[in-house]
């Protein structure tokens, strides 16, 4: 039972008595399911990644998660040339957004090939070229699914959920597809697995109140303490995010707060100290862990696949000495903190 939270009658039935919880087999958009995940909560987990996010963080390493609709991705290295598929992708495009590039040497040295290029201004996102691509160099950034389909996929991994592991619902922002996320959490809760919800905190408080009985641990992002700076970095202010963190903490939620450390953007001592002070102001029994996430570059190539530009090319990852100093700062506030 969650401490300090008045569990609705419907939730009491399955939590206290063991009756099956009711859920709806609603549809959702996801872009990935990853097994053996070790960075999305405690233990070994399987993570479900939903599409759509109200935030557009400058350092986002998963740009394919940002839009709710499916986009066309292009992994050029997988394209074997239009001669192999007889121009299938070019011919499939109804608006002429695909064309053949200048000939280049094939990677296997077999001769010259012509790969395709995409006119993103013309592309309507119909994805017919992806359907025609035999090598899957052209691909959609996700697929339609249902609660039951996701459940049947992820529950197969339960034998691997070691060291307190389980299933994490992530994004994007999973709360942006609230009906899907809520019903998936209900379906999973009834199976007895440990459930994490990875969230930016940018959703109505009543939605967090409704989903709270079905979540064992919230992975909660605090990206910047200054609301004006937060809006510049993510596209939204931070008041709602901080209010929801307080609400969850005061109503018995278990929080693992995650703090991105981005050089030149969020790594000032003023911001880091304000973040530590905020975390320390929350009920101590609620904040289980504060994780410091150093900036990394691994998501940059994904922008190219979507025909977008990465906006913070002049930023480098923080060094180990700085991260250790930041860790000590958070620990000085009595917080259980660690480096990611």
Do 79 and 201 sit in the same domain of this protein? no
Token code pair at residue 294: 């150093």
Average pLDDT over residues 262-281: 98
Closest by CA to 80, choosing from 107, 102, 99, is 107
Are residue 22 and residue 113 in the same domain, yes or no? no
- Amino acid 21: pLDDT: 87
Mean pLDDT of the chain: 93
Expressed as residue numbers, the domain containing 85 is 72-140
pTM above 0.95, yes or no: no
User: Residues with Cβ < 8 Å from 126, sequence gap 6 or more?
Assistant: 93, 94
Q: Is 242 found in the same domain as 275?
A: yes
Query: Within this chain, do residues 162 and 292 fall inside the same structural domain, yes or no?
Result: yes
The answer to whether position 168 is within a domain reads yes
**Tally of structural domains, the chain:** 2
Quick one: pLDDT band at residue 105, thresholds 50, 70, 90?
A: confident
Q: Do 239 and 269 belong together in one domain?
A: yes
| Residue 109 confidence (pLDDT) above 90 | no
CATH number where 263 lies: 3.20.20.70
Local confidence band at 9 (pLDDT 50, 70, 90 cut-offs): very low
Q: Is residue 296 part of a domain?
A: yes
Indicate whether 201 pLDDT > 90.
yes
Which residue in the block uniquely carries the two structure tokens 């007889």? 86
Calculate the CA 262 to chain-centre distance.
Answer: 18
Same domain, 97 and 32: no
| pLDDT bracket for residue 190 (50, 70, 90) | confident
Report H helices in the chain.
9-12, 82-85, 88-92, 128-132, 147-154, 178-189, 205-211, 227-234, 239-250, 269-281, 300-305, 320-331
CATH number at residue 78: 3.30.70.20
Find the mean pLDDT for residues 114-129. 96
Shortest CA distance to 172 belongs to which of 28, 34, 64, 27?
A: 64
In this prediction, residue 18 has a pLDDT band, given cuts at 50, 70 and 90, of low
Question: Which letter does DSSP use for residue 17 in this model?
Answer: I
Band of pLDDT at residue 313, cut at 50, 70 and 90: confident
Buried b / exposed e over 240-274, threshold 16 CB at 10 Å, is bbbebbebbbebbbbbbbbbbbbbebbbeeebbbe
């Amino acid at each position: 039972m969650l401490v300090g939270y008045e569990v609705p009658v419907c939730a009491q039935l399955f939590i206290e008595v063991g009756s099956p919880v009711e859920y709806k087999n609603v549809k959702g958009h996801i872009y990935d399911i990853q097994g053996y995940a070790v960075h999305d909560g405690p233990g070994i987990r399987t993570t479900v990644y939903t599409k759509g996010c109200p935030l557009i963080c400058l350092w986002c390493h998963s740009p394919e998660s940002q839009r709710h609709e499916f986009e066309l991705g292009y992994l050029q290295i997988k394209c074997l040339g239009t001669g192999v598929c007889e121009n299938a992708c070019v011919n499939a495009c109804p608006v002429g957004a695909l064309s053949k590039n200048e000939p280049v040497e094939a990677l296997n040295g077999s001769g010259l090939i012509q790969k395709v290029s995409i006119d993103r201004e013309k592309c309507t996102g119909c994805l017919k070229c992806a359907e025609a691509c035999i090598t899957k160099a052209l691909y959609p950034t996700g697929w339609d699914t249902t609660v039951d389909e996701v459940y049947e996929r992820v529950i197969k991994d339960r034998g691997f959920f070691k060291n307190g592991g389980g299933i994490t619902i992530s994004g994007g922002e999973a709360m942006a597809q609230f009906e899907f996320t809520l019903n998936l959490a209900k379906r999973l809760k009834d199976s007895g697995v440990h459930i994490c919800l990875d969230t930016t905190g940018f959703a109505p408080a009543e939605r967090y109140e409704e989903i709270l009985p079905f979540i064992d641990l919230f992975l909660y992002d605090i990206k910047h303490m200054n609301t004006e700076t937060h809006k510049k970095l993510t596209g939204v202010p931070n008041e709602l995010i901080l209010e929801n963190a307080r609400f969850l903490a005061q109503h018995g939620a278990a929080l693992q707060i995650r703090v991105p450390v981005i050089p030149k953007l969020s790594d000032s001592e003023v911001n880091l100290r304000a973040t530590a002070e905020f975390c320390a102001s929350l009920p101590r029994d609620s904040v289980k862990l504060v994780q410091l996430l150093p900036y990394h570059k691994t998501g940059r190539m994904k922008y190219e696949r979507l025909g977008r530009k990465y906006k913070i090319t002049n930023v480098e990852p923080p060094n180990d000495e700085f991260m250790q100093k930041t860790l000590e700062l958070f620990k000085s506030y009595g917080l259980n903190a660690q480096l990611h």
